[in-house]
Amino acid sequence: MLLDLALPLLRRLPPETAHLLTLRALRSGLVPRRARPDPPSLAITLWGRHFPNPVGLAAGFDKNAEVPDRMLRFGFGFVECGTLTPRPQSGNPRPRLFRLEEDEALINRLGFNNDGIAAAAARLAARRRADGIVGANIGKNRETADDIADYVRGVTALAPLVDYLVVNVSSPNTPGLRELQRKSAVTALIERLMAARASVAPENPPPLLLKIAPDLTPEDRVDLAQAALATGIDGLVVANTTVARPPSLASPQAHEPGGLSGRPLFAPSTALTAEMYRLTQGRLPIVGVGGIASGADAYAKIRAGASLVQLYTALVYHGPGLVQRIKRELAALLARDGFATLAQAVGAAEHSPRAPAHGH
């Protein structure tokens, strides 16, 4: 595939430039033919929606909903656009995206740079919903007087147009944003958003998911799980980027401020997935994100309690051909362990604690 072949060239460019060039190539039609059908064992139905496979593209790649259907053709089971804010914003000053080559990681302090909800909504309204599952990730503008009102605007504009919505209260790059994860704040936020969703999409409303940080205290994790169950939110996305800097990081860029993603996030985000699965008694679907670069990584997340998984950073290092490889490896691991369906494997490590979770 041409994008895989272009990877060494793209890696020589500054990361944000490489990303913009990739988007331009995708917009111009540089996409594969539709991928072969997935093995039936990889399919899963959640919230009344059929996912042909559990491997999704995380938010951050297609911030403005420019190429969701083109990304689906690389074999993703679903694509998440955003993060989108009510008004367009330019984000933080450049440089604001850094490759940690030695660690297969990225640090970003982009700051919700996007064209605004109206531009994305127009693009989403023009697509054929039958082409595949597309979600939107919503946030608040940096200079806003009313945080909750910004999220309500996102739900109101996008709920009729997408298959699911993710409420991003966990990016480290918008001052004060993570305070919205506190129990009282998140409860008030979710209740307002569910009311907004009901008013604009009463028939078949899109599920509403909450994206949480990997840096929560143990008390915050318990509070969030209780709030999630009490409010009736539809699922959790675990987890966003981390402000932690593991001592294992070898890259000279490791101490840039911002959110760390990629391989170093795999272990902590997978442990948090298992913890949130336990704290919510397996009653809420979880989307596992953070450091996935192989079928074994995806399988570890699923065994820890994730029903779906997402990746982005690994594409920077391995190219889009990685998606098909992960699916092949995941199908083989399910078959090896006697799981006829993906759903049977969800939380398997939690149900039989002695069984190892396989990762890198």
pLDDT tens string 9-27: 899 999 999 999 999 999 9
pLDDT tens string 304-345: 999 999 999 999 999 999 999 999 999 999 999 999 999 999
Can you tell me the distance from the alpha carbon of 149 to that of 195, in angstroms, rounded to the nearest whole number?
12
Residues in a beta bridge with 144: none
Determine the average pLDDT of the residues in 168-183.
93
Domain-wise residue ranges, the chain: 35-351
pLDDT tens string 255-280: 999 999 999 999 999 999 999 999 99
Q: Residue 273 is encoded by which pair of tokens? A: 């997935």
Task: Look at the chain and count its residues.
Answer: 360
Residues in a beta bridge with 164: 135
Residue 353 pLDDT > 60, yes or no?
Answer: no
Model pTM? 0.96
Residue 356: the pLDDT is 44
Residue 239: the pLDDT is 98
Between 28-37, 120-129, 147-156, the lowest mean confidence (pLDDT) is in 28-37
Can you tell me the distance from the alpha carbon of 234 to that of 255, in angstroms, rounded to the nearest whole number?
36
Residue 35: the pLDDT is 73
With respect to CATH, is domain 35-351 assigned 3.20.20.70?
Answer: yes
Residue 360 pLDDT > 70, yes or no?
Answer: no
Decide: 225 and 273 in contact? Cβ < 8 Å.
Answer: no
- Provide φ and ψ at 136, rounded to 5°: -130, 140
Phi and psi based region of residue 180 (left: phi greater than 0; alpha: psi -120 to 50; beta: remaining): alpha
Three-state DSSP at 299 gives helix
Determine the average pLDDT of the residues in 59-80.
97
Can you tell me the distance from the alpha carbon of 212 to that of 239, in angstroms, rounded to the nearest whole number?
5
Residue 351: the pLDDT is 86
Q: Confidence band (pLDDT; 50, 70, 90) for 357?
A: very low
3-state helix, strand, coil in the chain (%, to 5): 40, 15, 40
Q: Is 171 a catalytic residue?
A: yes
**Identified catalytic residue from 28, 41, 170, 171:** 171
Residue 134: the pLDDT is 98
Q: Residue 83 is encoded by which pair of tokens? A: 């993060």
- Provide φ and ψ at 74, rounded to 5°: -80, 0
